[in-house]
Chain A
Amino acid sequence: MLRFLIVRIMQGIAVVTAVLVITFGLMKAAPGGPFKTEKDVPAHVRANLEAYYGLDKPWYTQLGHHLRNFATLNLPDSYRFKGRGVGEIIAESFPVSAKVGSAALAISLLLGVPAGAIAGLRPFSIEDRLAMGAATLGVCMPSLVLGPIVAMVFGLKLNWFNVGGWTSSDDWVLPSLTLGLIYSAYVARLVRGGLREVLVQDFIRTARAKGAGEAAIVMRHALKLACMPLLNYLGPVAAGLLTGSFVVETVFYLPGLGQHYVSAAVNHDYTLAMAVGAFYAALICLFNLLVDVLQAFLNPRIGFK
């Protein structure tokens, strides 16, 4: 267990470092720089700025400097938002994304797990066909289509919610609903698949032979194993949802973390792009670790390897 944790944490650190290095490399390779804008900055001003941020040094010195800063959590300033630390920017926008994301996760599980379970328990029945039909539609409905439609129906036509911005307390509803509906489709398919796979196995037949009731079979024996594919899927998805979806945050004009991925890249904001990428990668590693620990508890055959 301890060995497992140590190995995984080392791996996580390696991933985050690789993300930092690759992001830095890509940003450096891109033409232009944080202070090369269309507006003509006088050469000496730019030279001063670049010297201030250490941009005049060779790339390996800069990279080493950045890595040392991130390793010691001495987070640098953003190049774009003068005088603001990247940590501060993340701390400000992450709660927005996390609120929308966790609500979306809850919606997708509340809708998807029951639908998938019903479908998986009665394969090829009417319920199954309905649930899976809806799920297939959901899988084919990307957020860039569903988002605007949800905004139009509930926001503009019915006028139940604001569309755009983060001002009133229920602004999380529509974005969460959009994401939740989409992911519930994937969840339902995974739960159904998992159940179907488990319910034909020998130990279920043994349980039936011992005279266990159908409910007990599903609850005590099948569900635990049937959740495995779902759990595996949820690790990266949870990280993705919490850190914000680019599209949904664009559609609903949310001041979340997702917007910074795009704007930092476009603005050549090296430090912000590196910080946001590393934050996301760290969250993915953390959730994957959680998933693996949960899996080991649910299925002792997997164990900690």
Chain B
Amino acid sequence: MGFVLVLLLCLLGPYASPYSETVQDLQLAASTPSWKHWLGTDSLGRDVLTRVLFGGRISLQVGIAATLVASFIGVTYGMVAGLIGGRTDAIMMRIVDILYAFPFMTFVILLTTMFEQSLTLIFVAIGAVEWLTMARVVRGQVLALKRQEFITAARGFGTGFGHILGRHLLPNVIGIVIIYGSLTVPGVMMFEATLSFLGLGIQPPFASWGVLISEGAAGIRSYPWLLLGPAAFFCSTLLFLNTLGDSLRDALDPREVS
């Protein structure tokens, strides 16, 4: 519920705001929260609430897009490993185990210094490193599914490998993919915020929540509201997403009986 609220706020909020994200009003620079500017203004006189809502769009966009990339890689990898099974499966999962030991943060940092900074790069880069858990979960699910009769039947009819994957297995793993997807989104958003915090993610004048928090942290001595406003939005979104994922998982996990 809370997440839907944040989503709607970020989608529609900017239209309702009387201020622009980029227009500066130096007369009003760094004013404290008031009735006119609910979260105050930053050092260039921009309305913080408006910037937070626009930033939320970017943060959520990155979070969702990178999760889609990660899910795509993870689901494909996990399903193929699980369905082939045997030696191939063992090797593919060993690779995943080994990849867990990689310092991906450094690779992503290198990637962001390599190319022209863009949103696409950021979510592809993050997506390319966040698929490991998804692959594991999906593979486990496929291992359990492929012993069931309907897969045997499909095989008996001579159904092709791709067809079994896409038509018979995919619909059955989609539930668990959604659950782990919703748990991946907050992780990705933290990743993006960390990059932006270090100045390697979203570049000004665009601002994600990570950028806003980093600006706020820099001026925390004099203008604490510049940190607290964006931080409150960011943390509550993470909270909503985590509780959503947790409760979905609990609802579908038969072992945990409350």
Which residues of A are in contact with B by a Cβ distance under 8 Å?
11, 14-15, 18-19, 22-23, 26-27, 29-31, 124, 136-137, 139-142, 144-145, 147-149, 151-152, 156, 196-197, 236, 246-247, 250-251, 261-262, 265-266, 273, 276-277, 280-281, 284-285, 288
- Chain B residues with a Cβ closer than 8 Å to the other chain, count: 40
* Chain B 78-116 per-residue mask, 1 if CB under 8 angstroms from chain A, else 0: 000000000000000000001011110111011101100
B89 to chain A, nearest CB (A): 16
A265 touches B217 (CB 8 A): no
Which A residues are in CB contact (< 8 Å) with B194? 142, 144, 246-247
- Do residues A140 and B242 form an inter-chain contact, with CB atoms below 8 A? yes
Q: Which of B102, B111, B236 contacts A26 (CB 8 A)?
A: B111
Q: 7 pairs across A/B with beta carbons < 8 Å? A: A26-B111, A137-B239, A144-B193, A250-B197, A273-B106, A277-B103, A281-B102
Contacting pair A26 B107 (CB below 8 A): yes
Determine the main DSSP class of A at the interface with B.
Answer: helix
**What 9 pairs across the A-B complex have the smallest Cβ distances?**
A148-B217, A140-B238, A30-B114, A26-B110, A140-B239, A145-B231, A284-B101, A280-B103, A144-B197
- Report whether A247 and B198 are in contact in the complex, using a CB–CB cutoff of 8 Å: yes
CA distance A300 to B228 in the complex (A): 49
Cβ contact within 8 Å between B235 and A280 = no
Determine whether the beta carbon of A273 is less than 8 Å from that of B110: yes
Query: Which residues on the B side are within 8 Å of A141 (C-beta)?
Result: 235
Contact of B220 with A by CB under 8 A? yes
Q: Across the interface, which residues of A come within 8 angstroms of B65, CB to CB?
A: none
Report whether B110 and A265 are in contact in the complex, using a CB–CB cutoff of 8 Å. Answer: yes
Dominant secondary structure of chain B at its interface with chain A:
helix
Stretch at the interface among B49-57, B167-175, B208-216: B208-216
Are the C-beta atoms of A148 and B106 separated by less than 8 Å?
A: no
Beta-carbon nearest neighbor of A286 in chain B: B101
Which A residues are in CB contact (< 8 Å) with B107?
Answer: 22-23, 26
Task: Please pick, from A19, A140, A151, A152, the residue contacting B102 in the complex, using a CB distance under 8 A.
Answer: A19
The residue among B197, B213, B224, B227 with the most chain A CB atoms within 10 A of its own CB is B197
B110 / chain A contacts, CB cutoff of 8 Å: 23, 26-27, 30, 265, 273
Q: Is the CB of B258 within 8 A of A145?
A: no
B234 contacts the other chain (CB 8 A): yes
Chain A CB within 10 Å — which of B114, B236, B243 has the most?
B114
Task: State which of B186, B227, B256 has its C-beta within 8 Å of the C-beta of A149.
Answer: B227
- Determine if A144 and B101 form an interchain contact, defined as CB atoms under 8 angstroms apart: no
A280 to B221, CA, bound (A): 34
